[in-house]
């Protein structure tokens, strides 16, 4: 994973998190995205609850300033900072557990399959556990290590069989060795919830422009793992009918309704390789006989069966 030569000092890290944690009301009040309607705090959030969140976030920021070492490389991109706050807001709107709310804010901290411009070394896992708790940190670690295609396979298998397991197995990204990541049923459901919330928060913005890394043309971001995200929505609605049975399908519907007609037949089941190491790992797997398509750009659904 590429690393910057210059390390940002601790004061810059604290500044980053101050933007991440504070002023949530102001950021969301002026947002015009459909996703902004599914974030908390909002006009329905009791004042005492919103105030308690601000205090919690301020206390966390204070902990960061005292405990977290100056090891973070950060791009400083405002859009990325707002995305972190946005995922936290979605988790709060969904009444997710507190560890998922915390994970929403830190989900990509070690660098993910699709985002590697910002990462904390894995040697700092203990510091992050102290900061947000071991359950939240584990969600973040899995989010950063995992091969998303292996996640989606478990999602489709659950829908096909309609049977729960005690343990679910993901694989790490090919360039990381494809080691097994074992999750309990509750962890698996937590991970699906975090994954879906993360994508719904960002897809409208991602579709506003093309992406050479993701191989998207303008408007094509909606194709990315389209079927998997809709399957996750179904699972969460079925497992948590009272908490998520209405809000999640509504959010999925409303956000995907913003997609233009000309891209709605496109699908992109896999994440394109984001680094030379990832490209080499995929080539090695293909050479060993694994069927991995070379073209990972969005394609028409009809072409998927013959690709």
pLDDT at 72 over 50: no
* All residues at 6 or more sequence positions from 285 whose CB lies less than 8 Å from its CB, including other chains: 174, 292
Between CA 215 and CA 169 the distance in angstroms is 28
**pLDDT (0 to 100) of residue 126:** 92
- In this predicted model, which residue has the larger pLDDT, 28 or 37? 37
Q: Does the structure show a pLDDT above 50 at 19?
A: no
Separation between Cα atoms, residue 105 and residue 89, nearest integer Å: 9
pLDDT computed for residue 78 by the predictor: 52
Residue 250 pLDDT: 98
pLDDT of residue 90: 98
Q: In DSSP terms, which residues pair with 297 in a beta bridge?
A: none
Say what the pLDDT of residue 127 is. Answer: 87
Q: Is residue 66 over pLDDT 70?
A: no
Q: What's the predicted TM-score (pTM) here?
A: 0.86
- Ramachandran class of 176: left when φ > 0, alpha when ψ lies in -120 to 50, beta otherwise: alpha
What's the pLDDT at 81? Answer: 67
Which pLDDT score is estimated for 9? Answer: 40
Q: Torsions phi, psi of 236, nearest 5?
A: -60, -35
Point out the least confidently predicted range of 30-44, 106-120, 141-155, 233-247: 106-120
**What token pair was written down for 24?**
């949530």
Q: What mean pLDDT is predicted for residues 278-290?
A: 96
**Tens digits of residue pLDDT in 93-115:** 999 999 999 999 889 888 888 76
pLDDT of residue 229: 99
pLDDT of 29: 38
Helix, strand or coil for residue 230? helix
What is the structure's pLDDT at 8?
A: 38
Q: pLDDT averaged over the chain?
A: 85
Q: State how far the Cα of 13 lies from the Cα of 22, in Å rounded to an integer.
A: 14
Asked if 100 and 91 touch (Cβ cutoff 8 Å), the reply is yes
Which pLDDT score is estimated for 113?
A: 80
**Is the pLDDT at 18 greater than 90, yes or no?**
no
Q: With beta carbons less than 8 A apart as the criterion, state whether 233 and 252 touch.
A: yes
């Amino acid at each position: 994973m590429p690393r910057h030569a210059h390390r940002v000092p601790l004061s810059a890290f604290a500044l980053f998190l101050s933007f991440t944690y504070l002023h949530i009301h102001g950021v969301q009040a002026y947002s015009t995205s459909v996703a902004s309607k599914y974030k908390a705090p909002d006009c329905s959030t009791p004042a005492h609850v919103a105030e308690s969140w601000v205090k919690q976030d301020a206390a966390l920021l204070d902990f960061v300033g005292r405990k977290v070492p100056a090891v973070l490389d950060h791009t400083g991109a405002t859009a990325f900072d707002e995305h972190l706050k946005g995922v936290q807001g979605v988790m709060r709107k969904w009444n997710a557990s507190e560890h998922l709310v915390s994970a929403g804010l830190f989900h990509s901290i070690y660098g993910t399959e699709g985002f590697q411009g910002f990462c904390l070394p894995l040697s700092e896992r203990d510091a992050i556990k102290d900061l947000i708790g071991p359950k939240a940190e584990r969600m973040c670690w899995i989010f950063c290590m995992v091969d998303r295609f292996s996640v989606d396979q478990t999602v489709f298998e659950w829908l096909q069989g309609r049977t729960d397991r005690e343990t679910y197995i993901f694989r790490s990204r090919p360039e990381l060795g494809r080691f097994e990541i074992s999750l309990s049923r509750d962890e698996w459901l937590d991970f699906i919830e975090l994954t879906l919330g993360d994508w719904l928060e960002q897809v409208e913005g991602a579709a506003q422009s093309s992406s050479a890394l993701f191989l998207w043309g303008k408007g094509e971001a909606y194709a990315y793992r389209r079927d998997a995200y809709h399957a996750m929505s179904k699972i969460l609605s079925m497992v948590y009918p009272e908490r998520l049975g209405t809000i999640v399908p509504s959010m999925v519907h409303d956000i995907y309704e913003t997609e233009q007609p000309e891209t709605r037949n496109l699908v992109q089941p896999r994440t394109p390789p984001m680094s030379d190491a990832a490209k080499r790992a995929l080539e090695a797997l293909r050479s060993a006989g694994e069927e991995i398509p070379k073209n990972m750009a969005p394609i028409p659904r009809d072409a998927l069966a013959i690709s």
